[in-house]
Amino acid sequence: MHDKTLTELAAGLRAGEFSSVELTRAYLERIEQFDTDLNCFISVARERALASAERADARIRDGSADALTGIPIAHKDIFCTSGLRTSCGSKMLDNFVAPYDATVVARLEAAGTVMLGKTNMDEFAMGSSNETSFYGVVRNPWDRTLVPGGSSGGSAAAVAARLCGAATGTDTGGSIRQPAALCGITGLKPTYGRVSRYGMIAFASSLDQGGPLTRSAADAALMLQAMAGFDPRDSTSAQQAVPDYSGQLDADLRGLKIGLPREYFESGLDAEVAASVQAAIAEYRHMGAEVVDISLPNSGLSVATYYVVAPAECSSNLSRFDGVRFGHRCEQPKNLEDLYKRSRSEGFGAEVKRRIMIGTYALSAGYYDAYYLKAQQIRQLISEDFRKAFGQVDVIMGPTSPTTAFAIGEKADDPVTMYLSDIYTIAANLAGLPGMSIPVRPVAGRPVGLQIIGNYFQEGKLLNVAHRLQRESDWHLAAPVGF
């Protein structure tokens, strides 16, 4: 059962080929078998999952089931879940149990999904390799010596290893798309505001966006359908109607204009990754799409801009973790200042501390105009580049990551090199645009991702474009050896 896509699992449940309880037990057994090695999960909710599966089976029997009813999924451990630990991959929240569900969790539960547990992640979503988690490194199921990408690496690795039917993730600078590329699955970052951030623990509030990690675009359409929509509890939630994503999947691509930014194919991109991406784009030509050379002249500034804006926002958001109200508290503090200092020093890891310090510096008196304000101005230039590009083309394509998955520890001591792993994904977050990564031809047995970026609220177009390639190829169906 575990080798089926969401659409196939849903069909099997409706046909009575297996029950949700049987399916859930099968995934729980796989988690027990493989996760000791992969370390995808921080928490596994076995009894809760089986109880949910029993309720799902009842809904299927009485005819009130939705498209996802009975499907076992996992949530990135950044989404609050009532009664189950939400750690954000940090010692700071190792003891935190939220009193409510995030909107994403609540909506997927209402759709009838079964939550298997919470997946591992870079601490507070800060990382590109899933090496900064308090709970240890996540390993890539394609090769356990490699990173799965981050920060949603636990979710991506769990989907790739068939430990769940699908998973949620968050994307602040590429943290859905980059691990999807490195693990050979499909990952979608919706338009900023399309999916509610209520109950999603904040890293950088103007950049964070939740989305699905799945095996196929058709599966992503099902997940996004349940996740998307206006939420009055989130002040950044967009009041936009949610279209029928699955109904748009098979639209004809003849006449589609694909933009190829010349900046995405210059120095820094692995030659074999470039060849794989170009081969996929050639398939679109065969389907009747037109390829247009474009320029995003300010895209080279996106990494520098991001690493001012995101740390500035994280330094503000993470100030709430002070040892007073919730989270880690140091032992026997001498006074209030000692409580703050030691609780934060003990609770946060090295990468989180680095970004808090950078952000605090950028926001400090005398430096705000030189760094944060200037970064916001460049952010507007990057957004304007995209606006001009979408006056010429329907979608923009290029590599998701400049390389395939790298070795665990290879970049751990070089933060700048690590940050460049997101060089092609960050601009979409700065502009608030939707983007996704889908698997294309692998290189030396390692997955490669094709990135597709769309105009605002054009997730349906992205899913259509991705699905049409997946109808013509089977790269998205490939599984790591042994899984």
Name the pairing type of β-strands 166-170 and 72-76. Answer: parallel
- DSSP tag of 265: G
Q: Rounded to whole angstroms, how far apart are CA atoms 144 and 72?
A: 24
Neighbouring CB atoms inside 10 A of 12's CB total 16
Instruction: Tell me which of 43, 133, 175, 216 is the catalytic residue.
Output: 175
Question: Does the active-site annotation cover 473?
Answer: no
Asked about 383 being catalytic, the answer comes back as: no
Q: How far is CA 99 from CA 86, 318, 324, 343, 364, in A?
A: 10, 19, 17, 22, 35
Residue 40 Cα distances to 136, 188, 343, 407, angstroms: 10, 19, 27, 17
How far is CA 121 from each of CA 41, 49, 99, 137, 194, rounded to the nearest angstrom? 9, 21, 21, 9, 22
**210-214: strand order across its sheet:** 41-44, 114-119, 72-76, 166-170, 210-214, 186-189, 435-443, 446-454, 395-399, 257-261, 290-294
Q: Point out the catalytic residue in the list 76, 91, 189, 461.
A: 76
One-letter amino acid of 160 = A
In 52-106 the beta strands, taken as DSSP E runs, fall at: 72-76
Would you state the structure tokens that stand for residue 287, as one six-digit string? 């389907």
Q: Please, which residues have CB within 8 angstroms of residue 232's CB and are 6 or more apart in sequence?
A: none
3-state class percentages of the chain: helix first, strand second, coil last, to nearest 5: 45, 15, 40
The torsion angle over the Cα atoms of residues 13, 180, 141 and 68, rounded to 10 degrees, is -10
Residue 146 pairs with which residues in a beta bridge? 407
DSSP 8-state code for residue 402 = S
Distances (CA, A) of 261 to 137, 280, 289, 396: 34, 15, 16, 7
Q: Which of 412, 358, 418, 424 is nearest to 204 (CA)?
A: 358
151 is catalytic: yes
Choose, from 151, 152, 155, 437, the residue flagged as catalytic.
Answer: 151
Catalytic residue annotation: 76, 151, 175
